[in-house]
Structure formats: structure tokens, C-alpha cells
Amino acid sequence: MDFSWLPAYGGMFFEAFFLTLKLALMAIATGTILGVAAGILLTSRFRLIRGIVRVYVELFRGSPLLVQLFMVYFGLPHVGVNISLNMTTVLVFTLYGGAYIAEITRSGIEAIPKGQWEAAESLGLNYFQTMGHVIFRQTLKIAFPSLVGFYIGMIKDSSLASVIGYSELVKKSQTIMNMTARPFETYIVVGLCYFIICFPLSKLVSYIEKRSEAK
Amino acid sequence: MFLDWLFPIYHLPELLRGAAVTLETSAAAFLFSFFLGMLFAIVRFHRRPLVLYPIVTAFVEVFRNTPLLVQLFFIYFGFPQFGIMLSPMQAGMLGLVANSASYYSEILRGGIQSIPKGQWEAADCLGLSRPQVFTRIICPQVIRDTFPSITNQMVLVIFGTSVLSILDVKELTQVASILNSQSFRSMEIFTFVMLLYYGVTTLALAVCRFCYRRWFAAKTERR
Amino acid sequence: MIEVKDICKSFGNLQVLKKVSLTVNNGDVVAVIGPSGSGKSTMLRCINRLEVIDGGSISVDGAEINGNDKQIRKIRQNMGMVFQSFNLFPHLTVYDNIALAPRLIHRKKKEELDPLVDELLQKVGLRDKKDSFPAQLSGGQQQRIAIARALAMKPNYMLFDEPTSALDPELIGEVLVVIRQLALEGMTMIIVTHEMNFARDTADRVVMMDGGQIIEEGAPDRLFQDPENERTRAFLHSVIGRQ
């Protein structure tokens, strides 16, 4: 095993690593906005709204991320929509993340005992006030571990963007690998980059979970 | 702008062949990774054998905190550096099983930890041997308690096979990609394939629900 | 015969058993009473090695328990244990709960197991529950099944760790009836219990524990009527006064 090339290419790795983080954070942000909105809609009393959102959620949770990437990346130009690679990637991750976060949000909301709604209602609060002041804070607490767990998964999933040519860690590492002809060591370093982000975060999540259980 | 939604239907045989590869690979990967994960869970739960515990823990943490794609590339492109040449399917299966086993390890370990101590004690007091206690008493309850997580991970294994397409394994996604590059009917093909995956996973989950009801359902109604 | 000699046991800094000695001869029915934290359950759990003693020795049928796994298993196969929280196996029917150990250890076949399970269920009065699951039974029924399960291995000794403490009051009686019947049949038993009247009626000998030690031991009538030790007197007064 030979890591002597590392200092020379270290800078490139660093840059690429931040590209991955950038993509992940953007996808997390937009995905959460879409997902929370969709999750709330999934608890609506209007069957039509629930139905439409449900179709979206089932579709994007019931198929692999890679296929979704291909569909949007290759398919949109054929229907006349021409957007940059960047936007395509963020779009797909938003839809993908949104679907999963919608489910997490929905089950978080439904986990709140009916009594909370009833108490708020009997105080005279309307739907939006109840949601904002009573329900949502509790939902966040319940959903927090699943949510952060999913975010950690997003960081790993961002690696698939390399397949459609998006510049992030895995894509850049292929260039480095071709230059150094050392795939074994290259991918160890790549793996390490993901590891040093994901491992502490997942330990943090289990620590928080344990603490809230002990209460 | 003209979309021919019947296009995928014309190529149904190839697509179904790809789906068959997907199903076979998924089933094999699921079974292997489940049993391997169970072994890992036992080692991690008992923290014994003392020599294996740190190795298994390291393995599990590495494979849980790195992307599947990187793991596959590592195996398929990295191993040949040391003379180990694997076919795409071999490398793919190896990566998928290692990856999924690590997740199963944690799922099952959590399940074992939540079995009340009294169950272990009662079984021990009857004089059962350790393996008997584990297979007859603990294991069935663990599977019952963690069933949703088990099926969830199974779905992730099915989705994981799509990543194998990058190594040119001829499963469903790769068949679709090839069709796409030949015909450029991208929207139709990939939408159809998305629906196919959805159908496959729904079917798999229904089978799981059936198995659960038949073998593991908790009987709680008072007669 | 079970011989407990000067056993000591600590959990961390807390010493729970301070040189406890007890001899149980074949056919004896020993009731162990005392306040919470006196070490009664711990002592019982040391006898079948659910807890490991820090000092002293325990001998069963003349052989000292030395930590050998095979030996412990053999001892446990001859010593039934009934827990406060029943610990029935939820995923098995009543039949399977009872038949499991004889099937796996004694390698009994169905032809032998069916009459065995029937006889035991008859004994505890639950013959019609053979195919039920534990979750479908009341607490008293579950505990009686637990007793049947322990008896399935035909042990020479039975240990009861507060068998009725987790039961609703109206369900306690049915379990005590079964235990009493066992005693009348000559089973060697150690029962840790809070049911004073039961102890008085059923036991040959009552052992009073407090603060990790046996502070008094004797025939039930004598001990309940005229305790020698001050603490025994105080304990009995606070408990029986309320029963």
C-alpha cells in the first residue's frame, strides 16, 4: 500500500469533499422544506390532497435513487426542460429527500396523542395556531432521531450524483485514481472522508436517543 | 417532444430479465446479509469472542458510515491491485452483503438488547444450553420485535442492486440504461422502471407481511 | 439437600448478603420472609447461580457449585424456578412453554410429552388453556403455567421468588393453592414471600432475613406467635397488622 501521493493530491480531496458537503447540505435544506410541507399535507382532512401527496411519496420512496436521477437527468431534456446539471441534481435529491422526510414528519405528527389536539381546540385555537404552537414542536422532538439519521444517509447518497457527472468527492476521486493508478488507496481515502463526517454524527444520534429514552 | 409510452412494453422481455436478475441478487444478498448480520449482532451483543469483537465492530462501523458506491468501487477496482480479480457480480454481491450485514447487525443487536432479562433467566433456569436459549427463545422474539426494520432494510437491499448497474451487472437499472442509450426514450423507460421497482418492493413487502402473520404475529386478544 | 454456607454477595459498594447460612433437607418447605432489600431474593438467586456469590459456598446434593457450566446446567435441570414476573415465553403456546425443556433436554417425544403436559396442566387447573398464548391469560393463570413449566423437568427442588407479588389480590389465591398442594406432596421448596398467612400454614420452617443476614429461624407457629428477635417482632407487626 502506498499513500505517498496523498500530500500532492490532498488539496484536491479537500475541495471535492467540500463539494459533497455543499450538495448534501443544499439537498437537506430543500428536501426538508418540501418534506415537512408534504408531511403536513399528508395529515390533511381532504382526501384529494392526501391522495396526490401520497402518490408522490410512494413513487419516490418506492424506487431507487439512481433510477430517479437517470429519469430526471435523461428524461427532462426530452420533454423540453433544459436545466443545468447542478439544478437537476438538486431537484432529484429534493424530491427524493422530500418523500422520506414527508413520511417521517407524518408519523411524527400522528404520534402526538389526540388529547393534544382536543385540548387546543377546547381552548379555541384554530388549526394553524394548534399546529404552530402545540403540535409542531412536539413533532420535531419525536422525529429528530429519524430525521438526523436520514440526513446522514443523504450525505452518503450524494455519492450517486457522480454517476450523472456531478462534481463531488467520488467523481473527483476517479480523476485522482486515474492519475495515481492506485484505486485501493484512493478509495480508502474517499471512504475515510465520508466516515469522519458520518460516524460522529451517527454516534451523536444514538447518544441523544439513549438520553431521551432514559428520561 | 413526442413520448411513446408503449416503448417500454415492446422491450418487456429484456426488462423482465433484468428484473429477474434484480430479484435473484436481492434475495441472495438479503439472506446472506441477514445471517451474517445476526452473527455480527451476537458477537457485538456478548462482546465475545474477545478477539472478534473489535474486528466486527470496526467492520460494521466502516460499512455503515461509507456509501455503497464507494464500497463497490473499492472492491471492484481496488482488490485487483493485490491480485484479487472479481467479476462485477461477485464484487457487487460482496459489497452489497457486507453493507447490508452491517445494518442488520445493528438492527438485530438492538432487538437482542431489548429482550427482557427475565426471558434469558427463565430459559437458563430450565437448564437449556446457550445455543438453545438463543435459537428457541431469544431469536424468534427478536425477529418479531424488529420486523419493520428488517423489511425496511430488505427494501434498501433491493434498491442497492440498482447501484450494481454501475459495475455493468445486468440487473434492471442497467438494462434500462442500455435501452436508454440505444433509443433515447429516457422518460418512458425510466418512469416504467420506477413503477416496476415500486411493484417489486410492494410485492416483496406483502410477502413479508404474510410471513409475519403466519409465523410471528403476537397473539394478544383475550379469549 | 441444599447447603448454603456463609455466603456473601455485593453489588458494587452495597453488600447484600453478609455471611448467610441455610440448610434445606429433602422434603423441607422453607419460607423466607423479611423487609425489602433484606437479601431474600438475592440469596435464592444465588442457589441456582443466577447471581454469583463473592464468598462462602453452596452445595447441592453434596456437590459444591464451582462455576463449571455443565454442572450448573445439570443442577438447574433438577431445580425449578418460579419468577415474580412469570417470564413465560410469549411466542410459544402454553403447551410449548411447558414441553420445551423436556423436549430439548430429555429428548422426550410427542407420545411422552402429551400426557406429561396434560398431567401438569391438570395439576395447576388449566387443562383447557393448552393451546393458548401467554398474552391471552390472566396473571394468576400465567403464574400457574410458569409453575407447570418448572415442574415439567421433574425437579427435586423448587425455588419461588415472590411468586404472588406481581398479582392482583383476587388472583393470588389460585396460585397459592397450587404451591400448597406441591408442598403437601413432599416437594423440597424455598419460597420467598410476603404472604404471611400462607407461610404460616404451609411452611415447615420460616426464615426471617433483614439487612443481608438471617436474624431468626424456626417453626412457623413459634416464630409468628412469639418471635425472639426484636426486628422480627417489629416486621411481623407492621405486615400482619395490615393483612
Q: What is the CATH number of the domain that holds A58?
A: 1.10.3720.10
Q: For residue range A195-208, list pLDDT tens digits in order.
A: 999 999 999 998 88
Chosen for mutation from B22, B23, B70 (greatest number of chain A CBs closer than 10 Å) is: B70
Q: For residue range B154-182, list pLDDT tens digits in order.
A: 999 999 999 999 999 999 999 999 999 99
Which residues of chain A lie closer than 8 angstroms to B173, CB-CB?
Answer: 64, 66-67, 70
Q: For residue range C32-79, list pLDDT tens digits in order.
A: 999 988 999 999 999 988 889 999 999 999 888 887 888 888 888 899
Calculate mean pLDDT across residues C141-157: 93
At residue B222, the pLDDT reads 42
- Please name the amino acid found at residue A79: V
Record: contact B136-C87, CB cut-off 8 A: no
| SS3 state at B27 | helix
| SS3 state at A81 | coil
Q: What is the DSSP string of A82-141?
A: ---HHHHHHHHHHHHHHHHHHHHHHHHHHTS-HHHHHHHHHTT--HHHIIIIIIHHHHHH
Query: For strand C14-24 and strand C157-161, is the pairing parallel, antiparallel, or unpaired?
Result: unpaired
B153, pLDDT greater than 90: yes
Chain B residues within 8 A (CB-CB) of chain C?
116, 118-119, 121-129, 132, 136-137, 140-141, 144, 216, 218-223
At residue A130, the pLDDT reads 80
CA end-to-end span of chain A, whole Å?
48
Which residue in C has a C-alpha nearest to residue B121's C-alpha?
C50
pTM assigned to the model: 0.84
Which residues of chain B lie closer than 8 angstroms to A79, CB-CB?
Answer: 1, 3, 187
**Helix%, strand%, coil% for chain A, nearest 5:** 85, 0, 15
- The domains located in chain C, with CATH, are 1-67+157-243 (3.40.50.300), 79-154 (no CATH)
Among all chains, which residue has been given the C-alpha cell 439487612? C211
Which residue in C has a C-alpha nearest to residue B119's C-alpha?
C87
| Whether C154 contacts chain B with CB within 8 A | no
Evaluate whether residue A205 is within a structural domain.
yes
ipTM field: 0.91
Q: For residue range B182-196, list pLDDT tens digits in order.
A: 988 888 999 999 999
Confidence bin at A53 (pLDDT 50/70/90): very high
What are chain C's partners, defined as 3 or more CB pairs within 8 angstroms? Answer: B
At residue C140, the pLDDT reads 94
**Is residue C109 left, alpha or beta, with left meaning phi > 0 and alpha meaning psi from -120 to 50?**
beta
Which residue in B has a C-alpha nearest to residue C92's C-alpha?
B137
Q: Return all residues near B80 (Cβ < 8 A) that are at least 6 apart.
A: A183, B86
What class, spelled out in words, does domain B9-215 have in CATH?
mainly alpha
At residue C243, the pLDDT reads 47
| Whether A203 contacts chain B with CB within 8 A | no
Record: contact B68-A202, CB cut-off 8 A: no
Which of B87, B136, B98 lies closest to B115 in space, CA to CA?
A: B136
B117, pLDDT greater than 70: yes
Chosen for mutation from B48, B119, B126, B141 (greatest number of chain C CBs closer than 10 Å) is: B126
B50, pLDDT greater than 60: yes
Which residues of chain B lie closer than 8 angstroms to C135, CB-CB?
Answer: 218-220
Nearest to B66 among A68, A158, A195 (CB): A195
A34, pLDDT greater than 90: yes
Confidence bin at B223 (pLDDT 50/70/90): very low
Evaluate whether residue A1 is within a structural domain.
no
At residue B171, the pLDDT reads 95
Dihedral (CA of C116, C117, C120, C121) sign: negative
Cell of B196: 416496476
B vs C: CB pairs below 8 A: 71
Confidence bin at A1 (pLDDT 50/70/90): confident
Nearest to A190 among B70, B165, B191 (CB): B70
Chosen for mutation from B152, B169, B190, B205 (greatest number of chain A CBs closer than 10 Å) is: B190
Record: contact B125-C76, CB cut-off 8 A: yes
3-state secondary structure C193-224: CCCHHHHHHHCCEEEEEECCEEEEEECHHHHH
| SS3 state at C192 | strand
Confidence bin at A214 (pLDDT 50/70/90): low
**Helix%, strand%, coil% for chain C, nearest 5:** 40, 25, 35
Q: For residue range A180-192, list pLDDT tens digits in order.
A: 888 898 999 999 9
Q: Return all residues near C154 (Cβ < 8 A) that are at least 6 apart.
A: none
Number of domains in chain A: 1
Domain containing A53: what range? 6-214
At residue A210, the pLDDT reads 83
C208, pLDDT greater than 90: yes
Which of C81, C47, C45, C51 lies closest to C61 in space, CA to CA?
A: C47
Calculate mean pLDDT across residues B85-103: 96
